[in-house]
Each structure stands twice: as structure tokens, then as C-alpha cells.
Amino acid sequence: MNRRNLVLTAILGFGMLAGGAIMAQERPMENIDPARHPNLAEAQHMIGMAFEKISVAQRDNHNDMEGHAERAKELLSQANRELKEAAEAANRHRR
């Protein structure tokens, strides 16, 4: 039973990593209203541009970057989500 749990945990863990890698391949959304938050919207746009440049570098280097480029894209996606949260927080405080 213990070995079975270990195998199941390993399979689930691999599935989560693969799912995260697939999600990280998508360019972060630009979903901040530039009319309300022009600076945050511009920062979000720049994150998208950086994400695209990393994707080009990965293609040019045949993804041979020891996972660092993928990690950078994950961090850009996280920063993108934080910008959206910042815009929503500002919206709540403006009311």
C-alpha cells in the first residue's frame, strides 16, 4: 500500500509539473484597463513583451537553458497576476 501511494504521488506530481509547464507557455493576459491604470497597464504590456522575447530565445537555443527561461516566464506570469491584483485593490480604494 505504501509503495502504491508513492507511485500515485509521483504520477500526480509529474502531472502538475506538466500542467504548469503548459500553462506557463501562454502569454500573460493584458487585462488591466489602461484608462483607469495607465502605468499598471503599460507594465503589464511590457511583461507580455518580455515573455515573448524569452519564448524567442528558447526557440533560438532549442530550449537548452536548463529550465531558467521557463522559470523566468513563470515569474513574469506571477508578476502579471500581482499587477492585476494591484489594479483591483486600487479600484476598491477609489470608491
Nearest to 54 by CA among 79, 19, 34: 79
**pLDDT one-digit tens code per residue, 5-24:** 777 787 877 777 665 554 44
Q: Any residues with CB less than 8 A from the CB of 28 and at least 6 apart, and which?
A: 44, 47, 48, 51, 76, 77, 80, 81
Count of domains for the chain? 1
Tell me the residue range of the domain where 21 lies.
2-94
pLDDT digits (tens, 9 = 90+) for 47-56: 999 999 999 9
pLDDT of residue 19: 59
Distance, C-alpha 50 to centroid of its chain: 11
Using one digit for the tens of pLDDT, what is the confidence trace for 19-47?
A: 555 444 799 999 999 999 999 999 999 99
